[in-house]
Chains A and B, each alone.
Chain A
């Protein structure tokens, strides 16, 4: 089990997406998942080992690290990627349900099981809303947990068993900050793509509905 599973999942979603949806999949693959695996993971690899406090008191470093990093940036990033990709499963399940129904009844029930209309449109819209929601929640979580997206070089810690206020130094703070800003930028881009896709779908199907009613009235 690894990121390849998520990659396969997203490739499956690509088939039933709109054009903007496909751009979203490409952005998630390349600018988020790939950057995470090939670059970001290694920066945070030894963060605990390289976290150093100006004290010899045993346990002080552990306690201070735990206090300032309840959940590591990189784990939050991984959770965000998983949560943001999962709503797309709803669409895949719905299409599979449609195909199953057609097989059971042995007749063509839908114009095309993958066509975004009717119930599948609702599912697609719900998945877009959930994706956007998760993105926003994780951005807020990052902001609240770490007081912004900055990574300080030095943190002052006075938790027990540290005898006084002790200086603790983080490793690679600048590099971590650069990648955090990159994460925020790509999250915002994905939010914009999701919202545009939402408005595009709502406009398209409202126009369709309106035109159908208009034609019916004229008849």
Chain B
């Protein structure tokens, strides 16, 4: 059980996302989860061992470390990634529910059901409309909220995004104000800024996706009011091709991350 398992779960959502959603998933997998696993975890790996205070007083280092790092950057990022990925599950559950209903209709021999066999239902991609639109839009909204909350928590806890080289500590049992030195501060600052930048990109993508969905919704409503029905088959063929390409990309990413994380 590791990030690969989360990726498997989210990979299923990819098929039912918009194009911007697919880009967001790719950014999440490659620039956040993969970077966290292959690079960031190593940078923060020795953080308490190499946190050195200029005192021999036992316990001073522990107390100062706890005072300046109530929760480590790396754990905060891991929690952020988990919370930000979870709303996509709402969409996955909704799609699974719709599929289940269609399979039930098919088994009952409902005349309305237009599928030839159950495999077709399994492979079908649902369009983002009706109740699925609401679920999808809520999931983007929650994603945005979680991203913003975690970024604020980061900023609030660490007084900005810079990692200082030296911290002055006078928590008991340190006898006086003691100098404590953080390990690899520059490398940590670089990674912190990188992760914040990628979070911001993800926020922008989510906002863009939200605007796109809202625009599409209002356009569709105005079209329904006047125009005749359009043909879904032609649109589905192009979307199926794009889906296949994106699945190929996400499969190769999945293999890369599983390889790295194991």
Contact = CB atoms under 8 A, between A and B. Distances in A.
Question: Are A and B bound to each other?
Answer: yes
Contacts of B61: 52
A98 interface: no
Interface residues of A, number: 39
B78 interface: yes
B245 interface: no
B1 A2 contact: yes
B152 to A, nearest CB: 16
B249 interface: no
A218 B66 CA distance: 72
Contacts of A72: none
Interface stretch (A36-44, A191-199, A201-209): A36-44
Contact of B173 (A38, A54, A175): A54
Contact of A153 (B63, B69, B72, B79): B63
Given A43-B75, A178-B70, A169 B48 contact: no
Contacts of A53: 58-59
Interface in A101-116: none
Nearest to B77: A39
Contacts of B2: 34, 37-38
A181 to B, nearest CB: 11
Q: Is the interface of A mostly helix, strand, loop or mixed?
A: helix
Contact of B65 (A30, A54, A171): A171
Closest 9 CB pairs of A and B: A169-B59, A3-B1, A174-B70, A169-B62, A54-B58, A39-B78, A39-B75, A38-B78, A7-B1
Interface of B: 1-3, 5-6, 9, 48-49, 57-59, 61-63, 65-66, 69-72, 74-75, 78-79, 82, 86, 89, 93, 97, 173
Interface of A: 2-4, 6-7, 19, 22-23, 26, 29-31, 33-35, 37-39, 42-43, 46, 50, 52-55, 153-154, 167-175, 178-179
